[in-house]
Structure 1
Amino acid sequence: MLIEDWMAKNVLTVDENTSLMRATRIMKENNIRRLPVVSHGKLIGIVTDRDVKDASPSKTATLDIHELYYLLSEMKVKDVMTASPLTLKGKDSLELAAVIMLEDKISGLPVVDESGRLTGLLSETDLLRAFVRSTGIKDGSRRYVFDLPDAAGSVTRVMESLRQYDARVISILTSFEDAPEGQKRVSIRITMDDAARAEELHQDLLAKFTVVDFGIDDIKNRPRKKQS
């Protein structure tokens, strides 16, 4: 999957001389956590809500509200921004973005073109949205998790069984770290219209392969955050 298909393209930006107070207001009013900093269309930095919090006086400071507002209005984005942030291109993969964001502990990446002009912003929310869509979990799919030999053709044999029963494959995910030695863990999501054929396939898969888990995720009754 490509970054350009999932990134936010209409991105709010600020320039380096924008006051910290205005940058804070923009983030709060638009419910965003980061603002790219541009100069003549080119990305030169990024400022986040964390940068603003770190730059603001602590709650134990003796400043009154007027002094605090004056301080924030005098401070500029350039005083707190991360200059020359990590960036990616629109044609880079989401997988690459995920590795960078995980290993460098950052929650968003500016996306630029070959000339350094800002074209979008990819957040961790965008990554999760892409992952959810690609798995097919919201399509009412049936999930099977297999432990298969780490050898060529092992997944193909499962696919042949699925094909025999006219199962439609929605997604396939493979991992090795959570599988026994010499094996790989493969999660396959399928959909089937015929309930009787689905049961026949189920019994066939249990008989032929090591099925670690199976089921249909209950999306409608999933745990939900309580509304305040």
Structure 2
Amino acid sequence: MGIINFQGKRNNRPIKKREPILVSDYMTKKLITFREDQPIEDVIEVLIKNKISGGPVVNNNNELIGIISEGDCMKQISESRYYNLPIDRNNTVGKAMVREVETIDGNMNILDATNKFLESRRRRFPIVENGKLVGQISQKDVLIAAMKLKGNTWK
């Protein structure tokens, strides 16, 4: 009995080299930022209106100088309400923000960023290039990236 369906020599398929999925592919570039001299009440209104949990604080040169979160704002409210006082208009972002901010490199693989989120227990990381704020990656951005990877190899 002979070979019935011989189609010739099969060529080896070229192995496609997968580009790593980078933080910069999923980071948010249009950011809501805050200034050091902004009143806390203004920040709270922006957080509520835009349904965000915090944001970077920048100076006039768009350099990252801190980060403000809902928790930072809640501390200010707690202190004023404890003493039954209105929120002091002199309570500014500069007094409430965290100044030591951990950042992520935009060229980092998204899965490495996932591990950084898990280790640090942070909700967001700013991305800085040449001293300027260029974006921010959140846990939700990482989840979006993971869903796009679904069915692929995780390399």
TM-score class normalised by the smaller sequence:
0.7 to 0.9
Distance in 1 separating the partners of 2:74 and 2:31: 22
| Partner amino acid, structure 2, of 1:78 | G
Q: Spell out structure 1 runs of 4+ moving beyond 3 A.
A: none
> Where does residue 2 of structure 1 map in the other structure?
22
- For 2:78 and 2:153, the matched residues in 1 are separated by 50
RMSD between aligned alpha carbons? Answer: 1.8
Larger strand percent: 1
Q: Distance in 2 between the 1:50 and 1:130 partners?
A: 27
Which of the pair has the greater relative contact order for Cα pairs under 8 Å at 6+ separation? 2
| Alignment TM-score, normalising by the size of structure 2 | 0.79
What residue in structure 1 maps to residue 86 of structure 2? 68
Percent of matched pairs sharing the same residue: 24
For 1:45, the equivalent position in structure 2 comes to 66
Aligned-partner Cα distance in 2 for 1:44–1:21: 20
Aligned residues: 134
2-side partners of 1:96 and 1:22: how far apart? 35
Q: Give the counterpart of 2:118 among 102, 117, 120.
A: 102
Aligned ranges for residues 1-228 of structure 1 at < 5 Å?
A: 1-39=21-59, 40-57=61-78, 61-63=82-84, 67-69=85-87, 71=88, 73-113=89-129, 115-135=130-150, 170-173=151-154
TM score, norm. by length of structure 1: 0.55
- Flag structure 1 segments of 5+ consecutive residues without an equivalent: 136-169, 175-228
AA at the equivalent of 2:153: I
Larger radius of gyration: 1
Per-residue CA distance 1:160-184 (angstroms, 9 max, x = gap): xxxxxxxxxx41349xxxxxxxxxx
**Gaps (5+ residues) in structure 2?**
1-20
